[in-house]
């Protein structure tokens, strides 16, 4: 069964609670975090990626549509609004869906099912040799087996890929490189580190251990990390 990692971005705590109660009944949804404004959500998404965003059109600081324009990671978005004009704009932005209150389990599950089918279709169309990644290293293109990657660390404008056998220095930002990795296996736990969750030996509230090397665990990623790593324990 496919799990869709999702976040909620909505300023109303009562509505967030109501939505969370509905989402718990949908088995394919995996809660990551919730935010009351676009700034906090944007800061979170600078470090990690999610499959689905439940987004209110009306937000403090800047609107849901301004938030969408700032997104770099192409997550699926379900817009939540009472305004007919917003629904028309959602179409222009090619959003996954637009729903209006009162929110019902059936309506949301229908939307999530449609998104799940879309993602599965895209995965089928994509390169099925998903057990390796191609990188440019020392003026050559090389294949790196994903399961051999232990962690990736930021080095200025480069990333350093640490495998069981060797290291690869690649020109890339951390965010761009993370987008090329399977979300269920790799997680950015700190602004400077992406780890292979299957390689985690042990962890504490603030540190993660891989091959006797300790990595700092960002406060904003603690909840996401615990949910994700539990699948490999």
Q: What is the CATH number of the domain that holds 110?
A: 3.40.50.2300
Looking at the structure, tell me whether residues 148 and 199 fall in a common domain.
yes
Is pLDDT of 219 > 60? yes
Looking at the structure, tell me whether residues 141 and 228 fall in a common domain.
yes
CA dist 31 and 52 (Å) reads 10
Q: What is the mean pLDDT of the chain?
A: 90
What's the DSSP call for residue 172? -
Looking at the structure, tell me whether residues 58 and 161 fall in a common domain.
no
Q: What is the CATH number of the domain that holds 206?
A: 2.40.50.1020
Looking at the structure, tell me whether residues 69 and 16 fall in a common domain.
yes
Looking at the structure, tell me whether residues 94 and 169 fall in a common domain.
no
**E strands within 100-232?**
132-137, 140-145, 149-155, 158-163, 167-171, 186-190, 193-196, 202-203, 207-210, 213-216
CA dist 75 and 89 (Å) reads 17
Looking at the structure, tell me whether residues 66 and 37 fall in a common domain.
yes
Q: Are 21 and 67 in contact (CB under 8 A)?
A: no
Looking at the structure, tell me whether residues 110 and 19 fall in a common domain.
yes
Looking at the structure, tell me whether residues 177 and 117 fall in a common domain.
no
Q: Could you please report the per-residue DSSP string of 58-84?
A: --SSS-HHHHHHH--S--EEEEE-S-H
Q: What is the pLDDT of residues 164-199, one digit of tens each?
A: 889 999 999 999 999 999 888 999 999 999 999 999
Is pLDDT of 78 > 80? yes
Q: Give the pLDDT confidence score for residue 73 in this predicted structure.
A: 66
Strands 29-35 and 4-9: parallel
**What is the count of structural domains for the chain?**
2
- Enter the tokens of residue 84: 């007919």
pTM over 0.85: no
- Answer with the one of 125, 142, 174 that is the final residue of a domain: 125
Looking at the structure, tell me whether residues 10 and 96 fall in a common domain.
yes
Q: What is the pLDDT of residues 38-68, one digit of tens each?
A: 999 999 988 788 899 999 999 998 999 999 9
Q: Give the pLDDT confidence score for residue 128 in this predicted structure.
A: 46
Peptide bond into 102 cis (omega under 30): yes
Residue 125: band (very low, low, confident or very high) from pLDDT cuts 50, 70, 90: low
Helix H segments across the chain?
A: 13-23, 38-45, 64-70, 84-92, 105-125, 174-178, 222-229
Looking at the structure, tell me whether residues 111 and 190 fall in a common domain.
no
Q: Which domain holds residue 22?
A: 4-125
């Amino acid at each position: 069964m496919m799990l869709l990692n999702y976040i909620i971005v909505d300023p109303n705590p009562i509505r967030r609670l109501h939505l969370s109660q509905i989402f718990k009944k949908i088995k394919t949804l995996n809660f990551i975090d919730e935010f009351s404004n676009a700034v906090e959500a944007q800061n979170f998404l600078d470090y990690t990626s999610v499959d689905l965003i439940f987004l209110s059109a009306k937000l403090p600081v800047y609107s849901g549509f301004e938030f969408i324009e700032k997104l770099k990671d192409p997550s699926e978005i379900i817009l939540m609004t009472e305004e007919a004009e917003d629904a028309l704009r959602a179409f222009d932005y090619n959003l996954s869906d637009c729903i209006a209150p009162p929110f019902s389990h059936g309506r949301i599950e229908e939307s999530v099912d449609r998104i799940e089918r879309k993602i599965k279709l895209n995965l089928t169309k994509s390169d099925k040799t998903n057990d390796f990644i191609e990188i440019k290293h020392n003026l050559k293109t090389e294949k790196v087996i994903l399961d051999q990657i232990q962690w990736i660390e930021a080095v200025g404008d480069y990333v350093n890929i640490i495998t069981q056998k060797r290291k690869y220095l690649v020109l890339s930002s951390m965010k761009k490189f993370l987008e090329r990795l399977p979300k269920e296996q790799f997680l950015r736990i700190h602004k400077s580190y992406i780890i292979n969750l299957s390689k985690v030996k042990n962890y504490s509230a603030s540190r993660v251990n891989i091959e006797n090397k300790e990595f700092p665990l960002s406060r904003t990623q603690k909840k996401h990390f615990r949910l994700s790593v539990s699948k490999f324990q």
